[in-house]
Chain A
Amino acid sequence: MNYRKHPQLIEKLAAEYVLGTLRSRARTRFARLMLEDAAVRRSVLEWETMLTPMTVAVAERQPPQRLWRAIAARIAPSIAPAQVRTSIWDSLGFWRNLGLAATACTVALVTAGLLRQPEVLQVPMVLEVPSKQRQESYVATLTDKSGKVVAVAYAARNSNELWVRRVDLAPGSGHAHELWALPAEKGAAPRSLGIIPAGDKGTLLLASAADQSLRDVPALAISLEPPDGSKTGLPTGPVLASGPCLKFW
């Protein structure tokens, strides 16, 4: 159906999307529509503005202290209370924020095992990578919520082969691990890059060279899906890991 010709339908769906009554598939479909159509986004915004004041009647509840610690550790571990560093070269935050590309490249070129404990990563390890091996590339280290490295993805800039290495992600017969390119725009839908092959490492074929298909992708993520992958075109299972997709050149 061409929704653009049915503004009333968009209005109805926007209201119910915001209210929350749409079922899984309808919700996913509508979320996709939001990406494509500014009028749909406006309608959603209007309903959010109208209905959100209802939350003033919801009782506040102080979350446990560990929640902030977990968030702080994810956005920049250097602001977590325990992380007091004397030098930027020692700062985990520095590496997560600025050096992740180098870190991931090290993983791709040297060894994945080291990154199980990012704390032990040392500067020389990165700097010792011979420059001729530092091919211009896109790299992502995908970590789970605790910061543990689950997988590494790497694609040379001009290649459409995305190399994925399972670091701590056991394949299973009853499910699949699907890799997603997250959208640059808030609220946009992720794009499937395919099912991660079962072996320790494997390649996925990108639709076009990495320079095109990953250029605007801020991060990659892995979700748990049925054996043949998501049937909706969007992640349906829990997200197991994610990490920024960085240009390394």
Chain B
Amino acid sequence: MCCGSTAVTKPQVRGSRMAIDSSQNDQLKALLAACARRDQPAFKSLYELTSSKLFGVALRILKREDWAEEVLQECYVSIWNHAAGYSAGLSAPMTWMTSIVRNRCLDWLRRPRTELTFADNEDGSHPLDAVASGDPGPLEALTRNSDAQALGGCLSRLEAKQRQAVMLAFYDGLSHSELAAQMQQPLGTVKTWVRRGLERLKGCLAGMGTA
């Protein structure tokens, strides 16, 4: 089922349509508020503005287009149903929607008997190469984006192994044991990398006044 075209490519920033600036934030908030009033055209606009990003996120984690479609369908129905529960004071609209999608994807992957398999990229490289320690891809993309600059900066200050573990887990939805297998390290070691990486990340972001 998993075909070449669905294989994950290196993370990259493509275009600026989803640059989450404040005016876009306000627009998404307004659309969510309209969805809460059951405004269907507003929901369609919300979908048009966000679906490419969220499909990309789902695809990155799930590696299969059919799964990503299925999960995204559930997510948008859920966004429509729960739009009234969105609180603009608690989180940015894109953070809220992305979290819904990531959580559904992770729940999907953690279903019993689901085996995570990696498809090779079309160019023959392994998807994990994208976050190999020396690869600047995602980090570079993060530091170029004003919303992710602080996070990118803090990630780049982590030890290479910690950074790799955190990024593999986030982008590819790997569990601790899958991380250990992929990084060919003992489970305990990988757990420690993740834990310390997250602690440092938080400390760093707090120091920059963003957390």
Q: Let me know if A70 and B148 touch, CB within 8 A.
A: no
Given A60-B52, A185-B85, does the pair A52, B99 have CB atoms closer than 8 Å?
yes
- A207-249 contact mask (Cβ, 8 Å, vs B): 1 or 0: 0000000000010000000000000000011100000000000
Q: Let me know if B15 and A54 touch, CB within 8 A.
A: no
Which single member of A49, A53, A68 contacts B142 (CB below 8 Å)?
Answer: A53
Interface positions of B from 93 to 115, Cβ below 8 Å from A: 94-95, 98-99, 102, 106-107, 110-112
Q: Let me know if A54 and B69 touch, CB within 8 A.
A: no
Q: Let me know if B111 and A59 touch, CB within 8 A.
A: no
Distance in angstroms between the alpha carbons of A82 and B72 in the assembled complex? 22
Distance in angstroms between the alpha carbons of A218 and B84 in the assembled complex? 14
Which single member of A19, A27, A60, A79 contacts B18 (CB below 8 Å)?
Answer: A60
Q: Let me know if A21 and B174 touch, CB within 8 A.
A: yes
**Closest B residue, CB atoms, query A185:** B85
Q: Let me know if B194 and A60 touch, CB within 8 A.
A: no
Q: Is A84 an interface position by the 8 A CB rule?
A: no
Residues of chain A within 8 A of B107, CB atoms compared = 27
Q: Let me know if A57 and B11 touch, CB within 8 A.
A: yes
Q: Is A12 an interface position by the 8 A CB rule?
A: yes
A interface size (C-beta, 8 A): 47
- A65-79 contact mask (Cβ, 8 Å, vs B): 1 or 0: 011101110111001
Given A21-B176, A50-B151, A52-B95, does the pair A58, B111 have CB atoms closer than 8 Å?
no
Given A23-B176, A27-B107, does the pair A59, B12 have CB atoms closer than 8 Å?
yes
Q: Is B137 an interface position by the 8 A CB rule?
A: yes
Q: Let me know if A60 and B14 touch, CB within 8 A.
A: yes
Q: Let me know if A19 and B170 touch, CB within 8 A.
A: yes
Residues of chain A within 8 A of B95, CB atoms compared = 48-49, 52
Interface positions of B from 133 to 186, Cβ below 8 Å from A: 137-139, 141-142, 145, 147-148, 151, 155, 166-167, 169-171, 173-177, 179
- B35-56 contact mask (Cβ, 8 Å, vs A): 1 or 0: 0000011011001000111011
- A8-24 contact mask (Cβ, 8 Å, vs B): 1 or 0: 00001001101111111
Which single member of A27, A46, A58, A70 contacts B106 (CB below 8 Å)?
Answer: A27
User: Mostly helix, strand, loop or mixed at chain A's interface?
Assistant: helix
Q: Is B125 an interface position by the 8 A CB rule?
A: no
Which single member of B98, B145, B177, B195 contacts A52 (CB below 8 Å)?
Answer: B98
Please give the distance in Å from A201's CB to the nearest CB on chain B: 28
Residues of chain A within 8 A of B139, CB atoms compared = 57
Distance in angstroms between the alpha carbons of A51 and B170 in the assembled complex? 8
Q: Let me know if B111 and A24 touch, CB within 8 A.
A: yes
Which single member of A20, A51, A71, A218 contacts B173 (CB below 8 Å)?
Answer: A20
Q: Is A132 an interface position by the 8 A CB rule?
A: no
**Closest B residue, CB atoms, query A41:** B90
Which single member of A19, A24, A60, A61 contacts B169 (CB below 8 Å)?
Answer: A19
Residues of chain A within 8 A of B43, CB atoms compared = 75
23 A-B residue pairings within 8 Å (CB atoms): A19-B169, A19-B198, A20-B106, A20-B174, A20-B175, A23-B177, A24-B110, A49-B211, A53-B151, A55-B53, A55-B98, A56-B13, A57-B141, A57-B142, A59-B12, A60-B14, A64-B69, A66-B69, A67-B69, A70-B73, A71-B73, A75-B81, A145-B73
**4 smallest beta-carbon distances between A and B, as pairs:** A57-B141, A53-B148, A57-B138, A57-B11
Excluding A51-B170, A59-B9, 19 further A-B contacts by CB distance (< 8 Å) are: A15-B198, A18-B102, A21-B194, A22-B176, A27-B106, A27-B107, A48-B91, A50-B151, A53-B147, A54-B138, A56-B142, A57-B13, A59-B11, A67-B69, A71-B47, A72-B44, A75-B43, A79-B41, A145-B73
List the interface of chain B (C-beta within 8 A of A): 9-15, 17-20, 40-41, 43-44, 47, 51-53, 55-57, 59-61, 68-70, 72-73, 76-77, 80-82, 85, 90-92, 94-95, 98-99, 102, 106-107, 110-112, 137-139, 141-142, 145, 147-148, 151, 155, 166-167, 169-171, 173-177, 179, 194-195, 198, 201-202, 205, 210-211
List the interface of chain A (C-beta within 8 A of B): 12, 15-16, 18-24, 27, 45-46, 48-64, 66-68, 70-72, 74-76, 79, 145, 185-186, 218, 236-238
